Structure 1
Amino acid sequence: MTAIAEPGAVTLSCSDPASLADFYAAATGWQKVFSSESAAYLAGSNGMRMGFVRIEGFEPPSWPEARNRVHLDFSVADLEKAEAELLALGADKPEEQPGEGKWTVLLDPAGYPFCITSMA
């Protein structure tokens, strides 16, 4: 089957695109390829991009209600180490953790939930 389209970017609404891009750049090692007052974009070596767009009056999603929406998943080599490093970067760990130790839910600085899971 011939593809009609390929995913090129995931874009998140937020109140501060530059700082959210900085958080994800530090978390992923991706390079910031564009930044303005209203938007910022990162690019990974795999061709994927992450975008962050300023929305006036942005309201972060609330956890655990947000679990019924789209969220990002990241593979990590060491779950405990990655959690500690992401918390140090500004992520938050909500009390409710549905992964039973298989993955960890964190909230980015804008309040979006994302999951980290061991590659093993």
Structure 2
Amino acid sequence: MIGNLQCVVLDCAEPLPLARFYQALLGGTVNKRDRRWDLSDEWVTLHTASGQVLAFQGVEDHRPPRWPESDHPQQFHLDVGVEDLDRAHQQVLASGATLLDDGGGTRGWRIYADPAGHPFCLVLERPRPRNP
């Protein structure tokens, strides 16, 4: 092993509003003090409830991805597991997401864009079998 993942960094035009969007989606703390980096208007972090960290970096002239076009590639995407796909769908739309693909209405996933245009998926979590 060479190193440990510290965070996933998303380029965007407005870091703080995008961090707040992902806070509504994933929980956690925006701009929690962390010895690994300094916080600024151009560098905002989200320490999620699960312990993972997302960072949002302000980029001048940011060009949002356009799913599924390759001339504006995805740059990254997140899969977010949910227990109730319909309820989560309503919540992300209310938080500012845009539906890109409903998965045909019968699949266990849907694709959205966050307010800065980055795609992410809501994926229905299947109940885990219980050990007898």
State the TM-score bracket (shorter-chain normalisation): 0.7 to 0.9
Q: Does 1:111 align with 2:109?
A: no
Letter in 2 for 1:52: F
1:53 aligns with 2:51: no
> Normalising by the residue count of structure 1, what TM-score does the alignment of the two structures yield?
0.86
Greater CA radius of gyration, 1 or 2?
2
Distance 1:95 1:62, change over 3 A: same
Structure 2 matches for 1:10-49, cutoff 5 A?
Answer: 10-34=8-32, 36-49=40-53
Q: How far did 1:69 drift?
A: 4.7
Identity of aligned residues (%): 35
Work out the CA distance in 2 between the residues paired with 1:25 and 1:47.
13
Unpaired segments ≥5 residues, structure 2: 33-38, 127-132
Report the Cα distance in structure 1 between the residues aligned to 2:105 and 2:9, rounded to whole angstroms: 25
d(CA) in 2 for partners of 1:68 and 1:107?
10
Runs of 4+ in 1 over 3 A off after TM superposition: 66-69, 95-100
- CA root-mean-square deviation: 2.2
Structure 2 length-normalised TM = 0.79
Instruction: Say whether the 8 Å CA contact 1:18–1:36 is kept in structure 2.
Output: no
Aligned residues: 118
